[in-house]
Amino acid sequence: MRIASLTLVAALSVAAFPSGAHAEVTRSSDAGFTITHSVNVPLPPPAAWGALADVGRWWDSEHTYSGDSRNLTLDPSVGGCFCEKLGLYAGAQHMTVIYAQPPKMLRLSGGLGPLQEFAVTGSLTWTIEVAGGGSRINLIYTAGGYADRPLGEWAPLVDSVLATQVQRLGRFISTGNPAESKADAKPETGRPDTKK
Report how far Cα 110 is from the mean position of its chain's Cα atoms.
13
pLDDT digits 0-9 by tens, 95-152: 999 999 999 999 999 999 889 999 999 999 999 999 999 999 999 999 999 999 999 9
The residue extents of the domains of the chain are 3-9+21-175
Which secondary structure element, helix H or strand E, spans residue 71, and what is its range?
A: none
- pLDDT given at position 186: 52
Residue 172 has pLDDT above 80, yes or no: yes
Topology of domain 3-9+21-175, CATH: Alpha-D-Glucose-1,6-Bisphosphate; Chain A, domain 4 (3.30.530)
- pLDDT given at position 141: 98
Report how far Cα 166 is from the mean position of its chain's Cα atoms.
5
Share of residues in the chain with pLDDT > 90 (%):
76
What's the pTM? 0.81
Residue 37 has pLDDT above 50, yes or no: yes
Residue environment code for 49-81, b if the CB has 16+ CB neighbours within 10 A, otherwise e:
bebbbbbbbbbbebbbbbeebebbbbebeeebb
